[in-house]
Structure 1
Amino acid sequence: MKLEMSATFQQELPIKYLKFLEENSNGVRLKNNSRWDKRIWHLMGKEALLKKRKMSGVGEAANYECLKLYTTVQQEVGMEFTAPSTHFRSVKLERVAKGFVIGHENGDYLYLDPECKFTVWAYYHDGGEVALISKSFTQLLRTQKPL
């Protein structure tokens, strides 16, 4: 997997994802076809990724880094230092906080995990759980249906 430094986001990201952002400035809707997740994700364009969000009592972050806010809340309410995973072993909250959010649906987030070869994960905000969705952004685009 090739990576490229993004001047906008100040980090390395998969080339295929950066190309997607260039070609889809307003983002796209993507129907997930996995066995356990049949929802429609809204993949954000660059402007939406950079939009700031505030979480009362926690702070402010751009959409692409908003998992920092959610994992902070999880720690503050005494949740363990790992996020339970439906289809994988538990993942440390520290690792989830580093996730690069690429999309959302009904308050849940789709993100790239830089600590696991930029695999694609879902973060379910209600319970703080995570689930592996795809082995790469390229595979996600190949197996899902843009709407």
Structure 2
Amino acid sequence: MKLEMSDVFQQRLPLKYLKFLQENPKGAPLKNNSRWDKRTWNLMGTEALLKRWEMKGVGEAANYECLKLYTQVQEEVGMELTAPSAHFRSVKLERVGKGFVIGEENGDYLYLDPECKFTVWAYYHDGAEVALISKSFSELLRTQKPL
């Protein structure tokens, strides 16, 4: 997978994802048809990704980096240092916190995992669980076309 440095996000991201952002500046809905997740995710455009918000008592973050706030809360309340996954082995919270959020749906987040070749994951906020959705953003777009 070819990666490119994004001047906006100051990190390397998959070229296919950066092209998606360029072609969809306001984002786009994406119907997911995986075995475990059949929802419509709202993929964010650049402006939404950069929008900052505060989690009271925890800190402030842009949408694309908000998983660091959620995992910080999990650690502070004494939850395990891993996020359970019904479909995959547990993932360390530190790794989840580095995820690059690309979309959301009803408080849950779709994110790219930079530590695992930018695979696409879902973070379910209610149970603090994660699930592997796709092996890459390119594969996600091939199998689940934006609406």
TM-score grouping bracket, smaller chain normalisation: over 0.9
Equivalent positions of 1:35-74 (< 5 A) are 35-74=35-74
Q: Aligned-residue CA RMSD in angstroms?
A: 0.5
Q: How high is the TM-score relative to the length of structure 2? A: 0.99
**2:86 — aligned with what?**
86
**1:76 — aligned with what?**
76
Q: Percent identity?
A: 83
Q: Which runs of 5+ in 1 are unaligned?
A: none
Equivalent positions of 1:99-138 (< 5 A) are 99-138=99-138
SS of the residue 1:141 aligns to: helix
**1:25 — aligned with what?**
25
Partner Cα separation in structure 2 for residue 120 and residue 132 of structure 1: 6
State the one-letter code of the partner of 1:9.
Answer: F
Q: Which runs of 4+ in 1 moved over 4 A?
A: none
Size of the aligned set, in residue pairs, is: 147
Q: How high is the TM-score relative to the length of structure 1? A: 0.99
Partner Cα separation in structure 2 for residue 106 and residue 99 of structure 1: 18
